[in-house]
Structure 1
Amino acid sequence: MKIILLALRSLTRFRLYSAINIMGLALSLACVIIISRYVYSELTTDHFASNHERLYLSVRHWNNNEKAPLFFTTQNVMMRKDYKNPLDIPEIEKHTSFVSLKNVTVEAGNKGFSADVLAVDSVFLQILNFPVLKGDVAKLLKEPKGAVLTDSFAKKLFKDQDPIGKIINYNGQLLTVQGITGKAGTKSSLSFDLMISRELQWRWPPVNYYSIALTVPHADIDDINKKLKSMYDPQNTRSFLFQLFPLDKLYMETYIQKGEKTFLQGNASSVHILSVTALLLLLIGVFNFVHLNSVVILKRRKEFSMKKVFGARPFQLFIQLFIENLFMTALALFLAWVIIEMTYGIQSHILEIKAIVSERYNIGISILLLLFLPVITALHTFVRFSRKPVTSSLQNIDRSKGKPEIKTIFLTLQYGLTLSLIVCSLFFIKQLNYMLDTDPGYRTKDIIKVWFQRPTSSMSYTVEEIKHQEDANKYILETLQSSPVFETSCFGISPYEFPLNPINKKKVRIPGGQWEEVIHITVSPDFLKLYDIPISGKDLPVAENEVLLNETAKRLFSKNGKLPEELEDERSAKGTSLLVKGFTGDFQTVHLSQNNEPVILSIHNESPFSQNKLMAAISPGHRQEAIRFLKKLHGEVGQGDFEYTFVADEIEELYNKDKLAAIIYTVFALIAILISSLGLFGLSLFDVQQRYREIAIRKVNGATTSIIMQMLLRKYYKLLAIAFIVATPVTWLAIHKYLESFAHKASISWWLFAAALLLTGTISLLTLVWQIRKAARTNPAEAIKSE
């Protein structure tokens, strides 16, 4: 108890230093906890399911790895006779398949709502046990007329009413709501609004159709995959090679094709960078804490020396230091959680750092920090002080003259880490602007996209439905063509949507050459005019086997300077070829960090029966008029709510993650500057106070305030210069390493480092100048008397 009281008295005696120390550490810990919670949430995605370590998705592999493998159902989608599901083996306890359908219109109370739908069987919720808030899990979806809603979607449809027993309309089927699911305990890579019975829906082509298996306890997945491989007959063209892939690794997986927007995609690179950022911020906070502690210990060295003289054991001194640091760490941790709670809105909506973690994790990381940091900081201070002779401390003799002080070393490290964070954040902003400003090779301005006839999940359409949609689409195009508000229009998809559907990908080659994967897509003749894509060639392709190649495909199939004239398609009948009629510019189809895809365009009028969005180029200056025009037209022939987007906005959305990265690193760099400034303030306060007498004597001998300022500032700018010299090559190498996988990259300009140095130097100057001016203006007589 006595040691605790001594520790509290010491903290209150040096309360300014304690306050600075606690605030700096609180900012550091708040950032570290925010990032660690997010990283933990990302790394534990899909861990919500019990037995998640036994859950696997089926992956279809191709012969000779000619294509990237894809997540694919093991169900008999080809309707083959005598088909045996490869998952019907003793090592698999149970398995299920499901179909994912995106942007399906569901009606409730005569109003349409867009929904992401999963068509599942009753086993699905037993394997992937999303929390069921209402309903009996054992009975859900056993009847084809049942439906299960998520809690958020139920509130959207029925507000505050009890949804159980309510009726919704799905593709003309009246379904009864039987259950409600809540939020999973961890992040899930599979998102949905509604679950229906798989008896109501299967899909052809079988994209977004998946199988999940639950293995028996202690089963070896390698042995299972070997068994599945042995069951595969490579000579049988109607046989598929399936392997199992862990659900735990699905979120971060990038090589295996996942279908169309079914699963959320994680970013391993972002997780790694944020982890390094958290480590740097923790180091900055700890260095700040340690060097301010060093300042306080210098003021208390006589106190500790006297205790040693009167018989205090080393263990007692260590315990006192530990308790003091424990109190400061506890206060800093409390403030950190206050900061986290107060900034929750900024984290979620601006930085989009959304973490789904349990309270156990929050308590665990708090205990770890509370115990780990005081031990490290107290041990450092104790070891450093215990090595000094008692006599030198009592006589106030500094035996470290001429040697670098530990507090200046820590300040230099802080400067270096802060400079690195600033340079990285500035570069991320530059790289983002570089990508946004790069010409994608086609028009993006004033092209609007509108759903008129939303795609449905129906497998077949009646003659009346087809005729109705064809007439509606013709009417839409003719109406826009007659309006001066629009330049041109067509139904279809944008260039950056080409790679999203795996059905668009195929293998082609020049005769006798090597097979290469390309995107082959059919577009309307108005597509090239709409997006202002230039072509070179005599005429546009007319026949079905006549095509255009983009610049990437042109380079891929050119041999010895000879342009390709004919291509063989692996899907076409033997003896038929694709005739190359011309070439287009290299319009961008993917994120600019990736290499562009080779594209083959077939040009002919699309069937009037189209389920794609309307795309229309607006005449300059008529944007608002065009929106009103389309809204009115949608009211006449459209389905569901009127929704529109602009191509320029959709392209910008492709770079949302890059934009967030730039914002996140900028915010953390500013916090690092603030923490360093607090440490610099405490250290300079100590230095100035130690030199009051020296300053007074210099003033008596004629030194001006300007001369005194230069003398005191020289030390800190020397440290800044050393930190800059060390941090510059290290940061350059780190950025260079990060850019290795980028196809398009901004240059690492010298001004990034100059701006970081100028910003850090300016803030340091502002931090120091107030104290130095105050010391320089002190009456010399009073300063000498106080000494």
Structure 2
Amino acid sequence: MILHYLTLAIRNLLKYRTQNIISIIGLAVGLFSFCVCLYCSRFIQSTNHCFDNYKRIVLVSLYDSEQNHYFSGTPAPLCEDMHGWAKGVEALSFVTYPRQMPFDIEVRPGKTLPYELKRMETDSLYARIFTPRIVAGSWQTASHTPNALVMSRSTAVRIFGSEAEAIGKTCVMTRRLPTSPSTTPRDGGITYTVQAVMDDTPLNNSLHFMETMDMLVLNDSEGLLQSNRRHEMTGGNTFALLAPDADIRQLEEQFMQRDYRWRLYDRDYEAQVFPIGRFPYEHRQLSVTSWITGTMGLLILLVGLLNFFHFLIGSYFNRTKEFSVMKVNGCSGGQLFTLLFVQSLLVVLAASLLMLWGIEVTDGRLDYSVEFMSMTFSKSLLMRHAVQYIGLLVLLCAGICLVATLRIRRISVQDGLGGGRRRRQSHRGRNFMLGVQFFLCWLFVALSAALYLQSEKTSGTLLHTLSMQEKASILSIPLDYSCLNNAEKQSLVGRFKSLAAVKDALLADVSYLGGSSGNLMMTEKGNDNSWIEVEVMRVPANFFSFMNIPLEQGRAPKTEADIVADRTWQQRMEKDILGMPLYDSQRDYSVCGICAPFQTDTYSKSIGYVFLPYNPSDYIGHCYLKCHSGQVQEVQARVEQLLREALPESVPVRVGTLLDDIHDRQPLEYTMKNIVLFFAVVSILITLLGVYSSITLDTERRQKEVAIRKVNGAGVPQIMLLFARLYIVLLAVSALLAFPLVGFALQQWKRMYIVFFDCGFFYWASVFVLVAAVTALTVIFRILRTARQNPAEVIKRE
């Protein structure tokens, strides 16, 4: 009997071969996208579950009741103070924020290489709370050794080849920390020793969320825990491990009974506790991110499911005559259900295999890393999630087949054989699902267009005195390598300038989009209290010509005492600032000119810039090269080669364009743009495939009606309108429902920026025309095939 059901199912699938291939591909793509999005959502929801004691770990925070504001981090002494009175607490540990630092590492005897590694300082009780798994060396040894390192497994293997080889190796920090004693030189020179290697901590943790961590530092002579200034600064968080029989409310009551407050920056702050990962700011951001990724995955899966089910249900009800004959011959409801379920199961199986193949093919290609954030996808875990979703889909198919069976069984034999009113009404559900597909399609397409337009807006706004073409023809080369001294950097820059395709070079101490040289100037010499807030940028003499920044008032700098301010700062000062004296700790300056605004951020309003003279002989941190048109890639390849020759093998080479820097500066638009664009394309394709399947079923079901209309004189336009009327209504109604929702989302999104694209009539009209045009082409293509058929042949077949 099962073989009979399989034969009938395969025969029916082959009858509608094209439509079933469409359903399989659409369902597979929807499932794949859903798996990836839900992986991210579940990744966020399981934050801190990697810690064995995560249910008992709490975060201690400081709260300003007057301003209703939580302070970032806690001072290290607060952790020490709580040791004396906190009851029901097994351990307290202070953990600093992650910090990237340069090290010279002895990879093997006689060979030392420079590395940039991310480190966190902590104390010995970290192991009691977060239970890291030590795979080499000893935590006890590390906790009793000055300047001890506990390195992550991946970092140890990358640098030394194995975990065991890392033990005992020395790492010399080549830059001093802000908390270092005054006796520590600027170039560091402090030696640390690897005493243990631990398993990598999963990225979904609150200590360094979505950041890879290379090492923990214990008993750090340069760190915050031993600094003389630790009472007046934060820089980390305090964590407590509650006893198994204790409750967070008991710790809260202790704070209330003691009216516990901590004085910092001449203010008293209340101490509050939260379960780890539940700090208000952190929890809100993670919840929103999880909700967005989960919703996007659910929507794209819904598009695929609707496409699959509306064709499946339509094909079921198009076979009403066949099922009525089977009913007359004694077919039971259970047999009919099995017949339908086997057919749907074959499609789900094919789509599932295609989706699992997609996971296999994309293994490692889904991983991404941007500044301060990285994400890796475990193939095994993604496969396990996929199998769970496939099981749920099979159950959903069983439910759909059961409902379809009950509906078909309710149709009388006379109506089923004659294709009466019920048969025509059976397509209402299918058309409703198609309308939902259009609704979701509008959402993805409109948001994708908005992200594209906003990314173009921000690209044009940042460093707006340069055209997009000029930004793409300027190479941006970081030179903040601690392994190179300034003389070596100057020699390297000289080799860059000698390249034939280089028109001009601009040197800087920092990247113009990555920060500034300072943010304060004094209006009175020697009076530190006369400071005024302004972004300070040190620039060479050719800065204004290189960046195409025009002077609007005054003159260009001629001496080392001349500085230029931008118009934004002048407007903020609300007075004429030409000739105004300004001071820093080194020399006296006078404003000699006013230039056009210097825009390096679109998220917050600029406070204005002043441009001070820059001497490259002091320090070179960045280099910009302006290339001749069409020769950027050639220069980039040559610069990368020169850098690889000058840098040790362990130092990665980074060379991009100024436009790449802008993209990195605006990660939201450029990262989300590609993701939403992918979903928009998938949504359009699946929806169009659903439209094609739907119009195919409609035209095949109504071939006789079309033939009779043609015999009675109906032309192609009348026949096209007969079928297209439904899709015109679906497009219009779904757009009327979707556009207000997108408009509300855009208004909320707009609050994040100081500049935003014009989301007026032409934006909405363009989105509507795009989707309507591709839908019309799909519908017209299929209707024309039916309209051009010979009526006599159609009636003869009927």
TM-score w.r.t. the length of structure 2 is 0.74
1:338 to 310, 335, 357: 357
Residue 662 to residue 489, structure 1, CA distance change in 2 (3 Å):
closer
Q: Is the Cα contact below 8 Å between 1:53 and 1:248 reproduced in 2?
A: no
Question: Is the counterpart of residue 143 in structure 1 residue 148 in structure 2?
Answer: no
1:216 Cα shift? Answer: 0.8
Structure-2 residue corresponding to 1:498: 515
SS of residue in 1 equivalent to 2:81: coil
Letter in 1 for 2:10: T
Question: Is the counterpart of residue 97 in structure 1 residue 108 in structure 2?
Answer: no
Q: Is the Cα contact below 8 Å between 1:58 and 1:212 reproduced in 2?
A: yes
1:28 Cα shift? Answer: 1.8
1:662 to 670, 673, 683: 673
Alignment of 1:484-563 (within 5 A): 491-498=508-515, 518=533, 521=536, 523=538, 529=544, 534=551, 558=574
Render the CA deviation track for 1:345-399: whole Å, top value 9, x for unaligned: 5533599974459479616842663355225533553565466455433443224
Distance 2:645 2:332 in 1: 86
Alignment of 1:610-629 (within 5 A): 613-615=621-623
Structure-2 residue corresponding to 1:595: 604
Structure-2 residue corresponding to 1:152: 154
Distance 2:81 2:652 in 1: 44
Question: Is the counterpart of residue 435 in structure 1 residue 458 in structure 2?
Answer: yes
Render the CA deviation track for 1:278-314: whole Å, top value 9, x for unaligned: 2322332232233223312323334555677788887
2:218 to 170, 191, 197: 197
Distance 1:385 1:691 in 2: 20
Residue 734 to residue 323, structure 1, CA distance change in 2 (3 Å):
farther
Structure-1 residue corresponding to 2:747: 736
Distance 2:736 2:442 in 1: 10
Structure-1 residue corresponding to 2:420: 397
Alignment of 1:13-92 (within 5 A): 13-15=11-13, 16=16, 18-57=20-59, 59=61, 65=67, 69-75=71-77, 85-86=81-82, 88-91=84-87, 92=89
Distance 2:337 2:499 in 1: 84
1:119 Cα shift? Answer: 3.6
Distance 2:703 2:428 in 1: 20
SS of residue in 2 equivalent to 1:347: coil
1:246 Cα shift? Answer: 5.0
SS of residue in 2 equivalent to 1:149: strand
SS of residue in 1 equivalent to 2:754: coil
Letter in 2 for 1:223: E
Residue 701 to residue 487, structure 1, CA distance change in 2 (3 Å):
closer
SS of residue in 1 equivalent to 2:93: strand
Q: Is the Cα contact below 8 Å between 2:76 and 2:238 reproduced in 1?
A: no
> Which segment is superposed worse, 154-163 or 332-341?
154-163
SS of residue in 1 equivalent to 2:149: strand
Structure-2 residue corresponding to 1:211: 237
Structure-1 residue corresponding to 2:318: 299
Structure-2 residue corresponding to 1:783: 794
Q: Is the Cα contact below 8 Å between 1:449 and 1:647 reproduced in 2?
A: no
> Which segment is superposed worse, 139-148 or 638-647?
638-647
Structure-1 residue corresponding to 2:204: 187
Structure-1 residue corresponding to 2:277: 248
1:60 Cα shift? Answer: 5.3
Residue 163 to residue 618, structure 1, CA distance change in 2 (3 Å):
same
Query: What percentage of residue pairs aligned between the two structures are identical?
Result: 19
Residue 44 to residue 488, structure 1, CA distance change in 2 (3 Å):
same
Residue 10 to residue 424, structure 1, CA distance change in 2 (3 Å):
farther
SS of residue in 2 equivalent to 1:435: helix
Distance 1:360 1:489 in 2: 50
Q: Is the Cα contact below 8 Å between 1:541 and 1:547 reproduced in 2?
A: no
Render the CA deviation track for 1:679-702: whole Å, top value 9, x for unaligned: 223222222222222333445556
SS of residue in 2 equivalent to 1:71: coil
SS of residue in 2 equivalent to 1:70: coil
Distance 2:388 2:217 in 1: 40
1:716 to 703, 723, 727: 727
Letter in 2 for 1:279: L
Letter in 1 for 2:695: S
Structure-1 residue corresponding to 2:177: none
> Which segment is superposed worse, 190-199 or 23-32?
190-199
Residue 367 to residue 687, structure 1, CA distance change in 2 (3 Å):
closer
Structure-1 residue corresponding to 2:396: 373
Q: Is the Cα contact below 8 Å between 1:60 and 1:240 reproduced in 2?
A: yes
2:252 to 215, 223, 240: 223
Question: Is the counterpart of residue 694 in structure 1 residue 705 in structure 2?
Answer: yes
Letter in 2 for 1:11: A
Q: Is the Cα contact below 8 Å between 1:452 and 1:638 reproduced in 2?
A: no
Distance 1:508 1:760 in 2: 59
Distance 1:283 1:42 in 2: 22
Question: Is the counterpart of residue 420 in structure 1 residue 420 in structure 2?
Answer: no
Alignment of 1:644-683 (within 5 A): 645=655, 647-683=658-694
Distance 1:305 1:37 in 2: 45
1:437 Cα shift? Answer: 1.6
Q: Is the Cα contact below 8 Å between 1:58 and 1:73 reproduced in 2?
A: no
1:492 Cα shift? Answer: 2.5
Structure-2 residue corresponding to 1:460: none
Render the CA deviation track for 1:504-559: whole Å, top value 9, x for unaligned: 589999xxxxx999566574675965766658578989999x9987655555564x
SS of residue in 1 equivalent to 2:197: strand
Letter in 2 for 1:134: A
Distance 1:689 1:236 in 2: 78
> Which segment is superposed worse, 419-428 or 382-391?
382-391
2:9 to 8, 11, 18: 11
1:335 Cα shift? Answer: 3.2
Letter in 2 for 1:47: H
Residue 479 to residue 128, structure 1, CA distance change in 2 (3 Å):
same
SS of residue in 2 equivalent to 1:47: coil
Q: Is the Cα contact below 8 Å between 2:438 and 2:734 reproduced in 1?
A: yes
Render the CA deviation track for 1:198-236: whole Å, top value 9, x for unaligned: 334315787884233123144326717945993326599
Distance 1:228 1:582 in 2: 61
Distance 1:579 1:381 in 2: 83
Residue 519 to residue 327, structure 1, CA distance change in 2 (3 Å):
farther
Letter in 1 for 2:242: V
In structure 1, runs of 5+ residues without a counterpart are 77-82, 256-265, 457-468, 510-514
Residue 701 to residue 117, structure 1, CA distance change in 2 (3 Å):
same
Q: Is the Cα contact below 8 Å between 2:459 and 2:659 reproduced in 1?
A: no
1:745 Cα shift? Answer: 0.8
Structure-2 residue corresponding to 1:259: none
Q: Is the Cα contact below 8 Å between 2:145 and 2:219 reproduced in 1?
A: no
Render the CA deviation track for 1:597-653: whole Å, top value 9, x for unaligned: 42565847789765x714466587898789979997998999985856454432221
Letter in 2 for 1:117: R
Residue 98 to residue 406, structure 1, CA distance change in 2 (3 Å):
closer
1:669 Cα shift? Answer: 1.4
Residue 45 to residue 581, structure 1, CA distance change in 2 (3 Å):
farther
SS of residue in 2 equivalent to 1:381: helix
1:37 Cα shift? Answer: 0.9
1:195 Cα shift? Answer: 3.4
Residue 129 to residue 526, structure 1, CA distance change in 2 (3 Å):
farther
> Which segment is superposed worse, 698-707 or 535-544?
535-544
Structure-2 residue corresponding to 1:459: none
Render the CA deviation track for 1:27-54: whole Å, top value 9, x for unaligned: 2222212111122223433432222344
> Which segment is superposed worse, 753-762 or 418-427?
753-762
> Which segment is superposed worse, 43-52 or 621-630?
621-630
